[in-house]
Amino acid sequence: MKLISPDFDNSSKTPLYIQLYNYLKGEIMAGGISSGEKLPSLRKLAKDLSVSVTTADLAYSQLTVEGYIYSVPQSGYYVSELGLDDSHESAQPKGIIGHGTFSIDPPAYRYDLSCFNFVKWKKCMARVLNEYPEALLYESDPQGEEALRCEISRYVYSSRGVIADPDQIVIGAGTQQLTSHLCRIMKRMSIGLVSTEDPGYLPVQNIFRDHGFSITKIPVGQDGIDINRLPTNLASAVYVSPSNQFPTGSVMPVGRRYQLLQWAKENQSYILEDDYDSELRYFGKPVPALQGLDKHSRVVYLGSFSSTLFPAIKISYMVLPEEMMHIWSDIKTDYTQTCSKTEQLTLALFMAEGSYSTNIKKLRKLYSQKLQVALNAFGKYAKGVVQPINTQSGINIILKVRTRKDPAELSASAGELGLNVIPTAGLTEQDTAALIFYYNQIPLEEMDGCIKNMINKWVE
């Protein structure tokens, strides 16, 4: 064994016992002290190095906890067999790390801060932190905070005609998260097939696929999904967005809704109704949800706050029909809540004091003005090349562009203008690109010029 002779730095802030621990670990790793060797006793080491026995004891204890040495009762301390191979001559990690100070890049696209009342929101959040900090010392309910579920229960009834007891409502961080829970529930019901709209919303399809479901794509027409092509004589589920089909914008008429409910009832199947932004309908009253028409507990209703609060909020909810609710009750403690408890409680307060409905009213007005200006601009500058569709509601417009350019190229050139325009699969045809144009974040006074410039770039 090498002489144990650490160079203590008495002026250092590092305690002596850690200096000793570091020295001994280094020697062991470098082979200066070999495995199996007996170390000096605590008293001897303390005396040799002129340190206290406590210092020696603390160093040996730490080395023992980490397994570099071990103690044999009535005998002493020994160096462990570490099984180092040649590539481990140094335990020191190789550099990296350290990226400067805190900074957040501004969004890549144009934005309009008048879309959301952050002042009110901040006040609600401060109230939660000031008045209920103890609530944050415990995890959120896997089903979501009761205070929020009560508010949602009241809200979906009055705004969408959805009948939901707070116990039927499950909160999660986004539709994908809730879809994961639905997959778990449906597997326990021996449902293994999901029909989806084609074209449709892909992010949920990724979740069905990950959970091993078979997926059948059913074409969407002007009245929504083609009900006659849904599977029969088999319990399955269909994922639909009947009040503003994504991306076509079609609305399923009430007669078709009853037909779909009839299909579900006859085949012991379920309708997964994604009602993602139906509060934002600008012409006429919103179309009531399918769930409110259901008398046989065959509908799961899915809603989200991303479009009506702010996109980073990540709070979604679903309303489970009775049988699914019982299964969920059995399994829910297997899963932790993903949604921020602070934000759930903040939203509950924001809704309870009426700020949420005020905000929706404001958004309806603001977005319908923006939509009108956008449609006028497309009228003026489209030159028969760009055709806007799906223009009744929501936060985006689908554009059909007559072009031979790649949709990704169109998206990139719109991006250069700070416009968020995303290619959408399913609607693209020969010589026609389909893109989703998010108009809602473009400031009203910039709308006309932005659209003019975008179209000019596209026809270049």
Stretch that binds a second copy, among 43-51, 138-146, 372-380, 403-411 (CB under 8 A): 138-146
Q: In the bound complex, what is the minimum distance in angstroms from residue 383's beta carbon to a second copy?
A: 28
Strands 299-304, 270-274: parallel, antiparallel or unpaired by DSSP?
Answer: parallel
Q: Out of 50, 72, 138, 379, name the contact with a second copy by CB under 8 A.
A: 138
Task: Choose between 348 and 373: whose C-beta lies nearer to a second copy.
Answer: 348
Q: Out of 61, 268, 297, 403, name the contact with a second copy by CB under 8 A.
A: 61
Per-residue x/- marks for a second copy, 290-309, CB under 8 A?
A: --xx-x----------x---
Q: In the bound complex, what is the minimum distance in angstroms from residue 108's beta carbon to a second copy?
A: 8
Q: In the bound complex, what is the minimum distance in angstroms from residue 259's beta carbon to a second copy?
A: 6
Stretch that binds a second copy, among 4-12, 48-56, 58-66, 191-199 (CB under 8 A): 58-66
Positions in 436-455 near a second copy (CB under 8 A): 441
Q: Out of 78, 310, 368, 457, name the contact with a second copy by CB under 8 A.
A: 310
Positions in 141-200 near a second copy (CB under 8 A): 145-147, 150-151, 153-154, 157, 161, 163-166, 173-174, 176-177, 180, 183-184
Task: Choose between 4 and 173: whose C-beta lies nearer to a second copy.
Answer: 173
Distance CA 213, CA 207 (A): 9
Question: Site for a second copy (CB under 8 A): how many residues?
Answer: 123
Q: In the bound complex, what is the minimum distance in angstroms from residue 429's beta carbon to a second copy?
A: 24
Distance CA 180, CA 172 (A): 10
Positions in 81-110 near a second copy (CB under 8 A): 81-85, 87-88, 91, 93-94, 96-109
Does 114 bind a second copy (CB under 8 A)? Our answer is no
Task: Choose between 109 and 381: whose C-beta lies nearer to a second copy.
Answer: 109
Per-residue x/- marks for a second copy, 324-363, CB under 8 A?
A: ----------xxxxxxxxxx-x--xx--xx----------
Q: In the bound complex, what is the minimum distance in angstroms from residue 87's beta carbon to a second copy?
A: 5
Positions in 200-259 near a second copy (CB under 8 A): 203, 206, 210-212, 223, 251-259
